[in-house]
Amino acid sequence: MEEDKLICTCMDVYKSTIVKAIKEKNLKTVEEVGEETEAGTVCGQCQDDIQEILVEINGK
């Protein structure tokens, strides 16, 4: 198991939370992840990381 990582320091959202939301709700965009988890909705600095997670899960 990969260790969990804090992705969004503004909203205190961890990678595991984002991964779970993407899988459960079939999210495709950074905006959708923001709506579900609030990650990326404050300063936006973590949006690149969120995009990477999206690619990791959805993209092939």
Residue with tokens 């899960």: 57
Smallest distance from the beta carbon of 60 to ligand FES, in angstroms? 26
Smallest distance from the beta carbon of 5 to ligand FES, in angstroms? 12
Q: What is the 3-state secondary structure (H, E, C) of 6-47?
A: EEECCCCEEHHHHHHHHHHHCCCCHHHHHHHHCCCCCCCCCH
Smallest distance from the beta carbon of 46 to ligand FES, in angstroms? 3
Residues that bind ligand FES (CB under 6 A): 8-11, 39-46
User: For ligand FES, which is the closer residue by CB, 48 or 56?
Assistant: 48
